[in-house]
């Protein structure tokens, strides 16, 4: 039971850090991207395609790792 509480605590800390990163992103990074991206108009479609490809690859590798993971009986 104690180890489970440690895991929940770690997840809570990670969520807190993720919230801070999201706030900083919303405050500083997004306005900066709005200013910078029009000058990168020729690269925007490549950036979107690259991001979509990265997300798809991570999803596929994650599904593969989950399906082929070592299954130990309890």
Please tell me the distance from the alpha carbon of residue 45 to that of residue 41, in angstroms, as a whole number: 8
pLDDT exceeds 80 at position 40: no
- Whole-structure pTM over 0.85, yes or no? no
Q: CA dihedral in degrees (44, 28, 52, 64; nearest 10)?
A: 160
pLDDT exceeds 70 at position 41: no
- The stretch 42-53 carries a mean pLDDT of 75
């Amino acid at each position: 039971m104690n180890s489970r509480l440690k895991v929940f605590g770690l997840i809570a800390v990670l969520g807190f850090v993720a919230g801070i990163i999201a706030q900083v992103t919303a405050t500083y990074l997004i306005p900066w991207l709005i200013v910078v991206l029009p000058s990168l108009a020729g690269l925007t479609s490549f950036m979107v395609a690259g991001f979509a490809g990265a997300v798809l690859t991570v999803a596929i590798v994650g599904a593969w790792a989950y399906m082929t993971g070592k299954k130990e009986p309890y």
